[in-house]
A and B are shown apart, each in its own frame.
Chain A
Amino acid sequence: MSIMANLNTKVVIQGGVAGLNAARRMAEFSYLIQKPLNVEAFVYPPDAGKTYDVPFGSTIVPVPVYHSIKEAAAKHPINTSLIYVGANRAYAAAMEALEIPAIKFMSMIAEGVPERDAKLLAKEARKRGKLINGPSSIGVISPGQCRLGVVGATYENLCLSKLHRSGSFGVITKSGGLLNEILWITSQFADGVTTAIGIGGDAYPCSDYVTYLEKFEKDPHTKAVIIVGEMGGTLEEEAAAWYGAKKRRIQLLAVVSGFCQESLPKGMKFGHAGAKEGAKGEGSARSKARLLKKSGAIVPETFGALGPAIKKVYTNLLKSGKVKEIPMVPPPQQLKSVDVAVKAGEITVTPLIRTTIADDRGEEPCYDGYPASELINKGYDIPHIIGLLWDKRLISKQEAEIIRRIIMLSADHGPCVSGALGTIIAACAGIGMSQAVAAGLIMIGPRFGGAVTDAGRWFQYGVKNHKGDIPAFLAYMKDNVGPVPGIGHRVKSVKNPDKRVKELVKYVKSTGIKTPHLDFALALEQVTSGKKDNLILNVDGTMAAVLVDIGFPVNSLNGFFVLSRTIGLIGHWTDQKRQGGRLIRLFDYLVNYATPKRREVPKLK
């Protein structure tokens, strides 16, 4: 049925991200053939002790990661290693794997492994009666049984090339891309493959065509073997010598590349590392093709002629009764991921959240449907974005100007207020910006900055129910709510008015917009400040009245203070960073120690 890789293959993958990617591909194959995942463990010291998630069908298989292959081998019945580390660590990784008695076969994908390392590894493997495949190998695949590495590409390709079931052809190539191509061709022109092996295009790969030809010869299911060769080196010549040495059971087919060298400027060479002609023409494509043909192999003139040649061999095998046509059993479909299935309109999902303001799924975010760049290009400004995201409407130029002024007026109020103090203390304690600014923001509440929403709510109530009757409103508030939010200031008073309030009121009045709530609030101030000097309309109250007047929902009002004061809080944090502010500790004399005098602790009962 196969060589090197079969249903008993248990794999350890040496390597991190690239190895995990290979495991995911291998899991797709295992799912395709409806067998359990054959990757038992990873060896990757930086992640030792963790597990890697390998999706398998509709589930996720956690595969443990070990520090050493010895540890992995002690806990798992592994017999094969896939080496997915870089060229500079490939030698050490393979030597580690060679030390494990149970591991008989290793396949290495690293490209650019020094030739000396590859030769030493091959020697060591020979000594121990083991096999290393590669370096630069795309991997090994036995259709219907086992996939080692990323060979075979996507699930779609596995299905197209019918890799869910075994065929009659063995394949050995240097090139990874062409290995995949042969898998496809063989599925179209014949019944497919028993095992396909990429030996890599290096000058001195650890194992060669002959190594695997001998194994294919002994595998009764393999009736023919296809070699995709290249100029350079002697591996194709050795394959020819092996094939011609005596009568072989398998039919050999071979193509060789590099004929173009003959018409190129002398000395110009290209292709894989191993593709270099000897000084006296040995290793040329022509001499390889000649020797292979002489040995009895079928050698099509071009790669394109390989398909029909395979077809001919297959037809003869059918005629002679050596193989029977395989009935087509469709492979299981790959399970679609939710996003793919949703996109294809095949399933519906109950959404977890619902949004009505922003959508970032296109090239750029849209705010309430308007693309951000178009808003910029058409002259809209930050207040308009606030209007869109907070109230889902495009506000007017005049309204935007009012918001702009509100933000400017309440951006900061010095270091002594609760918010700034919180941020400064945090900044001086070495806390990062977002946390330190949050320390300031959490101060915003009923007593500091957070009265805007409440003020707006009660002004709205007042205008609705007690318009023109301030005393009735105040009586209602006294009985049911308490002090009127937005009225009163700790330090400002009639004699010492809050200039910010005066400015804002002046501007809003100058615009000529209708301001029933502001008018109500000012009338209210007339009454309250008459009772007590500092019961004036404060900045929260003014903002609240104006914002309700221009139509913002009550619930959004505190946001204007939060937003504008964030500017100041960020300023305080960067200010402390800039000057290297030291840790703040209160002085004893700033504390009223109203505690009991020192006393004896009674005996514990």
Chain B
Amino acid sequence: MAKVLEGHGMRILQKWNIAVPRNIVVTSVQDLDRSVSENPWLKNTQLVAKAHEALGSRFKLGLVRVKLNFTQTRSAVKSMIGHQIGGLTVREVIVSEMIPHSQEYYVAIQATRKGADILLATCGGIDVEENWNRVKSLSVEVGDTPSRTSLQTLARKTGFPGNLTGKIADFAGKLFAAYDKEDAQYLEVNPLVQRSFDGTLVALDVVTLLDADAKYRHPDWTFPFAAEFGRAYTNSEKELMEIDAKVKGSIKFIEIPGGDTAMLPAGGGASVYYCDAVVARGGKLANYTEYSGDPPDWAVEALTEKVCDLPGIKRVIVGGAIANFTDVKKTFGGIIAGFRKAKAKGKMGKVHIWVRRGGPREKEGLAAMRELAKEGFKINVFDRTTPLTDIVDLSLGKEPATNAKGSKKVVAK
């Protein structure tokens, strides 16, 4: 899943012959001034200025300003750029022309298991969420294209007046084509309006989610994908994303401020069970991390260093299920090297390491971890006979949830 900012989403709609307001994305007032010569409409149209960032509810945050002349737009850009919301700084503003209209509508294409749903509503803007029962939908199986008749029927069912159903059907057809051909996961035009002076349907705003896995077949996706959790990526996250993009297998890292428990487990599945266990046992996650698919040791080492850099952590959970093909000795080698570097930087003094793992070369990997105790690390190492998340219980001073009979504990001295 990859979120695309409005300006880039607009370009994609234009590619599929959908009318959008003329717009430019600027990073400063100077940038706006320089754009005037190529975009004379900036001087003779009413304008809208919106913060061009991955933010919901921009209206409520005061980051959308409407009915502006050029001078007012300059001051709007000036006040928005550099504005901070949570962990996110506004760096771009999208300036577009006002489209005179009376009515607002809603059109969206949403992925489903078998294909997609086309959603229509005669109310747009923020009204649509409060009137969700007015949204009508049409399911389309993947590989199929909705007929004009079926879209017209949907428009009629939704309550569009007879003279508009043809236009709405055509618009929905074009939006569906964009969704289908651009490997989108979600396209939402809200509001959709009818331009007063010529009756053309214009997409005033668009939410665009693309399938990042399909990037390889869309050479024109030159824009960056936006972070999806309401803040920009941190430098550490970006550094590790760059490594992740280069290596076999994967390494993932998301920082969560204020946590005391650093996560360094293996596996996209097991890692979430580890996080659940931490939360269930009253710990506070300092990050989400997983490595999988037998990544190179140096990548795991880089990941380990970032995990140990997390401020205020008391414990590191080096968990994992019994790997199928990830080499435990090799990946643990990377983790051990990362721990040593962190220790040299004075980061491990108060940190207790908890290890549980199985898989190819597990004996060698676990033995190497146990050796760390001799170097002064506080570390406890368990093998496959200890249930998956028991190390989380132990690390938080709790009796294991399931002290299964027959599971023997191997505690490093």
Contact = CB atoms under 8 A, between A and B. Distances in A.
B216 A88 contact: yes
A270 B252 contact: yes
Interface in B133-147: 141-143
Contacts of A272: 268-269
Contacts of A231: 272
A157 B358 contact: yes
A304 B256 contact: no
A21 B292 CA distance: 17
B315 to A, nearest CB: 16
B143 A177 contact: no
A177 B324 contact: yes
A259 interface: yes
A260 B275 contact: yes
A303 B388 contact: yes
A234 B112 CA distance: 10
Given A115-B111, A115-B183, 16 more contacts: A114-B183, A116-B214, A153-B359, A157-B322, A176-B324, A177-B270, A178-B321, A180-B359, A184-B322, A260-B272, A262-B279, A271-B272, A271-B290, A272-B269, A304-B389, A304-B390
A184 B254 contact: no
B402 interface: yes
A111 interface: yes
Given A150-B325, A260-B275, A228 B1 contact: no
B401 A116 contact: no
A337 to B, nearest CB: 15
B393 interface: yes
A499 B60 CA distance: 97
26 contacts: A21-B325, A88-B216, A116-B180, A119-B115, A122-B114, A123-B141, A123-B142, A150-B324, A157-B358, A178-B321, A180-B321, A180-B323, A180-B359, A183-B322, A184-B384, A230-B272, A231-B272, A260-B275, A263-B279, A267-B229, A270-B271, A272-B269, A301-B401, A304-B390, A308-B402, A308-B404
Contacts of B388: 181, 303-304
Interface in B15-71: none
Interface in A221-243: 228, 230-231, 233-234
A269 interface: yes
B321 A181 contact: yes
A153 B279 contact: no
Interface-central residue, A173, A179, A257, by most chain B CB under 10 Å: A257
A464 to B, nearest CB: 60
A175 B254 CA distance: 20
A269 B268 CA distance: 12
Given A272-B268, A276-B1, A304-B387, A260 B404 contact: no
B159 interface: no
A74 interface: no
B322 A177 contact: yes
Interface in A15-29: 21
A301 B276 CA distance: 10
A114 B212 CA distance: 8
In the A-B complex, the 4 residue pairs with the closest CB atoms? A175-B269, A177-B267, A181-B321, A177-B321
A173 B322 CA distance: 14
Given A88-B216, A153-B359, A230-B269, A258 B143 contact: no
B214 A114 contact: yes
Interface in B111-158: 111, 113-115, 141-143
Contacts of A204: 111, 113
B269 A178 contact: yes
B279 A260 contact: yes
A119 B142 CA distance: 6
Interface in A102-128: 111-116, 119-120, 122-123
B293 interface: yes
Nearest to A111: B293
A265 interface: yes
Chain B interface size band reads 35 or more
Nearest to A228: B269
Contacts of B285: 260, 264
A285 interface: yes
Contact of B402 (A113, A173, A270, A305): A305
B68 to A, nearest CB: 30
A201 interface: yes
A76 to B, nearest CB: 26
A188 interface: yes
Contacts of B276: 257-260, 285, 302-303
Interface of B: 1, 111, 113-115, 141-143, 180, 183, 185, 211, 213-214, 216-217, 228-230, 252, 254, 256, 266-273, 275-280, 285, 288, 290, 292-293, 320-326, 358-360, 384, 387-390, 393, 400-402, 404, 406
Given A113-B213, A114-B214, A259-B280, A177 B292 contact: yes
B114 A173 contact: no
Contacts of B278: 260
B268 A302 contact: no
Nearest to B257: A265
A176 B269 contact: yes
A307 B228 CA distance: 36
A123 B393 contact: no
A268 interface: yes
B255 to A, nearest CB: 10
Interface-central residue, B113, B279, B320, B359, by most chain A CB under 10 Å: B113
Nearest to B279: A260
Given A258-B276, A305-B402, A269 B213 contact: no
A302 B393 CA distance: 11
A228 B272 CA distance: 12
Interface in A289-347: 301-305, 307-308, 311
A265 B229 contact: yes
A416 B293 CA distance: 61
Nearest to B288: A270
A115 B211 contact: yes
A314 B113 CA distance: 35
Nearest to A201: B268
Contact of B256 (A153, A268, A305): A268
A380 interface: no
A179 B359 CA distance: 12
Interface string A32-49: 000000000000000000
Nearest to B326: A177
A334 to B, nearest CB: 13
A271 B271 contact: yes
Nearest to A88: B216
B403 to A, nearest CB: 9
Contacts of B113: 119, 204, 233-234
Contacts of B268: 175, 177, 201, 271-272
A236 B275 CA distance: 20
Contacts of A176: 267, 269, 324
B107 to A, nearest CB: 17
Nearest to B387: A304
Contacts of A112: 213
A487 to B, nearest CB: 63
Given A257-B269, A303-B388, A154 B360 contact: yes
